[in-house]
Amino acid sequence: MCYLTTGKHMAFYGSFGTVLLLLAITAPVALAFGFGGAMAARSRVAPLRWLGKAYIAVVRGVPDIAFFLFFVIALDQLFEWLRHQAKCPDWDAAIRQGNDFVVCPAAKLPLSSSPQIWHEAYGFSLAVLTFAIVFGAFAANVLFGAMKAVPRAQLETAEAYGMSHRQTFWRILVPQMWVYALPGLSNLWMVLIKATPLLFLLGIEDIVYWARELGGSKTPRFTDYPHGDWRVYYFGALLVFYLCFTRVSEIVLGRVMKRLTHGQATMGGEAQRKAA
């Protein structure tokens, strides 16, 4: 047993996994939110269109940190309230009692008798959902722009072939928009990576939480390994981690872009054709 293998350090190493897992789940969920938002924003039903545009404009106009500070509690209360309405119609006590938010025991999320692992999983999914709502608005904006960037002639041709509106959307527009969306989406991915230090606001014990906890100066009374203020070394490790992670992402996304532009009627595709 040495300093670097204490239970606390193990939790620190584990938190890198937590962050990566969260990114892996959040990215597709945020993309789904974005797709929904973009579809709503270009809907022909006016209220749906307003809703989509408002979602994009409001969420993007506000610093993400402001959302993170109250969104998790808000979402948690919303879900418990909904469950309360469904499960306890006979409950007569008020849900808001002064400052307290009290729902019937059957509506608690997760149930207070459930094992700790469910509490953790629930907290984690709330964090994923909050991230997805915030970054979904950015994704919606990128996809909205990408859908507009697909040449009109392509859509007109499809309609000339007798495709319905829905068919044109799914068979022509959606497959073609990705190449226009990818630069924006890869930037969004980078932004998402760099927003993970704010995870501790959402109640996830992430790498920044543990780096702070481990790096703070320790007196011999509370630990076998007393040391001074070592935060700079732990944050240095985080810096290296983030730089490597963004660098690898850049390289991978560059390759994907190359693949996608292949054979496309864009400047990039034309350049590839000439080079070949």
Distance of CA 219 to the CA centre of its chain: 38
According to the binding rule CB under 8 A, does residue 79 interact with other proteins? no
Length, in residues, of the chain: 276
- Helix ranges, the chain (H): 7-41, 46-61, 64-87, 116-149, 152-160, 165-167, 174-195, 207-215, 231-261, 267-275
According to the binding rule CB under 8 A, does residue 200 interact with other proteins? yes
User: Any residues with CB less than 8 A from the CB of 77 and at least 6 apart, and which?
Assistant: 101
According to the binding rule CB under 8 A, does residue 189 interact with other proteins? no
* Dist CA 53 CA 140 (whole Å): 9
- Per CB under 8 A, the list member of 101, 157, 170, 271 interacting with other proteins is 101
- Per CB under 8 A, the list member of 49, 213, 253, 264 interacting with other proteins is 213
According to the binding rule CB under 8 A, does residue 269 interact with other proteins? no
According to the binding rule CB under 8 A, does residue 274 interact with other proteins? no
Q: Decide whether 93 or 160 has the Cβ nearer to other proteins.
A: 93
x/- letters, 46..65, toward other proteins (CB under 8 A): -----------xx-xxxxxx
According to the binding rule CB under 8 A, does residue 87 interact with other proteins? no
What is the SS3 assignment for 95?
coil
According to the binding rule CB under 8 A, does residue 24 interact with other proteins? no
Residues 144-173 interacting with other proteins (rule: CB under 8 A): 145
- Strand-strand pairing, 96-97 and 100-101: antiparallel
* Dist CA 262 CA 257 (whole Å): 9
CB of 206 to other proteins, least distance (A): 10
# binding residues, other proteins (CB under 8 A): 85
According to the binding rule CB under 8 A, does residue 275 interact with other proteins? no
According to the binding rule CB under 8 A, does residue 72 interact with other proteins? yes
